[in-house]
Structure 1
């Protein structure tokens, strides 16, 4: 990001894209799982943007499952090996999605069991031709 005074101020989308690429870079040890991002206030001051712009960028990253926000502690890079929706600070959207996926998984398991029972009951009968 160009921080010179004459450069246009970055948008939340641009800030999020910058951090997204830093997080995705396996060579960048400063942005590995568990590392803390700069405080939103500090980054806003460095970039010369409004606090809400940085908060919006961090919210985008959180909603994508890349970071976790912990009130009073900061924003941290999420460990991708931990299932989404299980850590404190996870996006409410991911927590809801994780619950929904769990329900769908259970329903599919039950349907599979019913299908197995039906196939056993039918036994060696040939299915009707269409």
Structure 2
């Protein structure tokens, strides 16, 4: 699995790391049961703080995509969402990031989504 981050991006580095894993799930280059790199190892290779990697891993854990176990590290959960769902989650994150870049409030974004859901 390839991890890339752009320090100049408005997207927080931890979110970029989580996006790399979501993208790998979406394109099939990562599979359930696969172990992610140790946080310290990944931080060193990306030139970021270990807590940045842990924030990305925590976000993935909250989304139900990985398990974090002491001594075992981060592992993609069996039964992780199908690639189509992972792709959709990645797109949602991109939309939220774009909305923040444009200065939209959460309520404005939710209103746009509700309007889209109501459209035929």
TM-score, scaled relative to structure 2: 0.56
Deviation of the 1:19 alpha carbon: 1.1
Of 17, 20, 43, the residue aligned with 1:18 is 20
Question: For structure 2, which runs of at least 5 residues remain unmatched after alignment?
Answer: 81-120
The whole-number CA distance in structure 1 between the counterparts of 2:19 and 2:31 is 16
The whole-number CA distance in structure 2 between the counterparts of 1:44 and 1:73 is 17
- More off after superposition, 36-45 vs 9-18: 9-18
Q: Which has the higher contact order (CA 8 A, sep 6+)?
A: 2
**SS in structure 2 opposite 1:62?**
helix
- More off after superposition, 35-44 vs 13-22: 13-22
Greater gyration radius: 1
The whole-number CA distance in structure 1 between the counterparts of 2:66 and 2:7 is 26
Aligned to 2:61: 62
Question: For structure 1, which runs of at least 5 residues remain unmatched after alignment?
Answer: 82-130
**SS in structure 1 opposite 2:35?**
coil
Deviating runs (4+, > 4 A) in structure 1?
A: none
TM-score, scaled relative to structure 1: 0.52
Aligned to 2:38: 39
> Over residues 5-61 of structure 1, what are the superposed CA-to-partner deviations in whole Å (9 max), with x where a residue is unaligned?
xx62771011111111112222x1xx2111100000000000000000000000000
The whole-number CA distance in structure 2 between the counterparts of 1:80 and 1:63 is 15
**SS in structure 2 opposite 1:76?**
strand
Q: Hey, which of these two has a bigger chunk of helix by percent?
A: 2
